[in-house]
């Protein structure tokens, strides 16, 4: 079945006999038992809810996994994932991570006994150089946030398997429409469903999608025990968002390419980080392992004054901390997504006072370019 058809129809399981086209919102915390020792299949919404089940079955199909778990946020999903590991375990992660993941690792997970090495996972040899006896997993973002580095997932998977490590891939930026990490050898895929899957900047969600039933069983136990599950109404909002995922991603990508090319030619822009540009150092890897480039762009202006002016003057584009929705958003990583990372570490990665991140939405690309053009102009 074509991906766009799966987005619309998802799970083919029916939950009522009314003929409702939209899956019902089962706004119930608990479910009655038909009798002693009997169950309808639903007991308590922390364990499972029919609306969330429909969403999870859809997400699993889209990623090609055996199971998916929907959480109350992307960070809730990653926090639950960390419970797979024990004190003393070591995890190798991309050194250009979303700031929330970095904050979780070094303020919560490390306190609980886990250890981390952050490396440039675009270089597979650097990953291998950091493997030690207590290493249990490789955690990669691709493209990374916000510098848009790309990791060769198949190569990382071969390395992980040779050392009996889990390969975990955050697929938020490209979604299963453009990239399928499980098919390339990953064990677990993460999503902030708040972003492209939901697509409308109106709810929070997170996902873990797994490649085998053993991981599913372990994570389902953690899931029901911690209880960070996605509520029925929020599940319905993400179901609705996924229905248009394919058409949104294609339109957003087309616009992003036009804007990235325009930015490349602007005199006040010193660097453009968009994986769809042939000048991007990981362009060939992206072409080989995915079917698209997405709509996330980071760019460096000529000065801090220019960056601040752009953020202050955009009008159609909104200065806000998120991505993946129908509205185009611009973010200042050093003050927003990566504010908790030490300055020296942040700037060493290129996340400085001149760097801006753009999530291209569904507005006319010509209108977006005009808005950027006037925002760059000095008064």
pLDDT 10s digits, 46-55: 999 999 999 9
Q: What is the pLDDT of residue 336?
A: 82
Q: What is the pLDDT of residue 279?
A: 97
Architecture of domain 246-376: Alpha-Beta Complex (3.90)
Active site residues: 46, 98, 170, 195
Q: How confident is the model at residue 263 (pLDDT cuts 50, 70, 90)?
A: very high
CB-count exposure of residue 348 (10 Å: 0-12, 13-18, 19+): exposed
Question: How does pLDDT run across 166-199, given as a tens digit for each residue?
Answer: 999 999 999 999 999 999 999 999 999 999 999 9
Q: Note whether 3-242 and 246-376 share their fold.
A: no
Question: How does pLDDT run across 265-309, given as a tens digit for each residue?
Answer: 999 999 999 999 999 999 999 999 999 999 999 999 999 999 999
Domain boundaries, the chain: 3-242, 246-376
Q: What is the pLDDT of residue 344?
A: 82
Mean pLDDT of the chain: 96
- At residue 313, does pLDDT exceed 80? yes
Question: How does pLDDT run across 108-167, given as a tens digit for each residue?
Answer: 999 999 999 999 999 999 999 999 999 999 999 999 999 999 999 999 999 999 999 999
Q: How confident is the model at residue 247 (pLDDT cuts 50, 70, 90)?
A: very high
The dihedral built from the CA positions of residue 61, 62, 66 and 68, taken in this order, carries a sign that is: negative
Domain 3-242 classified CATH 3.40.640.10?
Answer: yes
Q: Which residues contact 11 (CB under 8 A, 6 or more apart)?
A: 53, 54, 57, 58, 61
- At residue 333, does pLDDT exceed 90? yes
Query: Using an 8 Å Cβ cutoff, are 40 and 30 in contact?
Result: no
- At residue 340, does pLDDT exceed 80? no
Question: How does pLDDT run across 320-332, given as a tens digit for each residue?
Answer: 999 999 999 999 9
- At residue 8, does pLDDT exceed 90? yes
Q: How confident is the model at residue 69 (pLDDT cuts 50, 70, 90)?
A: very high
Burial 169-185 (b: 16+ CB within 10 A, else e): bbbbbbbbbbbbbbebb
Q: What is the pLDDT of residue 275?
A: 98
C-alpha distances out from residue 178 to 72, 78, 259, Å: 24, 22, 19
pTM score of the predicted model? 0.96
């Amino acid at each position: 079945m074509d991906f766009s058809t799966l987005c619309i129809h998802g799970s083919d399981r029916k939950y009522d006999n009314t003929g409702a086209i939209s899956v019902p919102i089962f706004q119930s915390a608990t479910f009655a038992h038909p009798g002693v020792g009997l169950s309808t299949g639903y007991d308590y919404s922390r364990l499972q809810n029919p609306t969330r089940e429909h969403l999870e079955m859809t997400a699993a199909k889209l990623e090609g996994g055996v199971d998916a778990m929907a959480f109350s946020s992307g960070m809730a999903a990653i926090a639950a994932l960390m419970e797979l590991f024990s004190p003393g375990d070591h995890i190798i992660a991309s050194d250009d991570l979303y700031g929330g993941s970095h904050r979780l690792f070094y303020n919560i997970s490390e306190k609980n006994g886990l250890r981390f090495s952050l490396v440039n996972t675009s270089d597979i040899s650097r990953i291998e150089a950091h493997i030690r006896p207590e290493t249990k997993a490789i955690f990669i973002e691709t493209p990374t946030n916000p510098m848009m580095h790309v990791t060769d997932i198949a190569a990382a998977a071969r390395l992980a398997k040779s050392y009996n490590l889990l390969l975990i891939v955050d697929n938020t930026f490209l979604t299963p429409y453009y990239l399928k990490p499980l098919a390339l050898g990953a064990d677990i895929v993460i999503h902030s469903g708040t972003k492209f899957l939901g697509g409308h900047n109106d709810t929070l969600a997170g996902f873990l999608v797994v490649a085998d039933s053993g991981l599913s069983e372990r994570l389902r136990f953690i899931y029901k025990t911690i209880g960070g599950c996605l509520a029925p109404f929020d599940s319905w909002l993400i179901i609705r968002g996924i229905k248009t995922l394919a058409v949104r991603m294609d339109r957003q990508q087309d616009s992003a390419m036009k804007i990235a090319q325009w930015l490349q030619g602007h005199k006040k822009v010193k660097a453009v980080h968009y994986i769809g540009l042939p000048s991007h150092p990981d362009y060939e890897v992206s072409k080989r392992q995915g079917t698209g480039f997405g709509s996330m762009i980071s760019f460096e202006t000529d000065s801090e004054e220019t960056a601040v002016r752009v953020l202050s003057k955009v009008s159609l584009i909104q200065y806000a901390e998120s991505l993946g929705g129908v509205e185009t958003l611009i973010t200042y990583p050093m003050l927003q997504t990566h504010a908790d990372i030490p300055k020296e570490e942040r700037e060493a990665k290129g996340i400085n006072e001149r760097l801006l991140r753009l999530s291209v939405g569904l507005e006319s690309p010509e209108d977006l370019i005009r808005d950027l053009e006037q925002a760059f102009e000095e008064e």
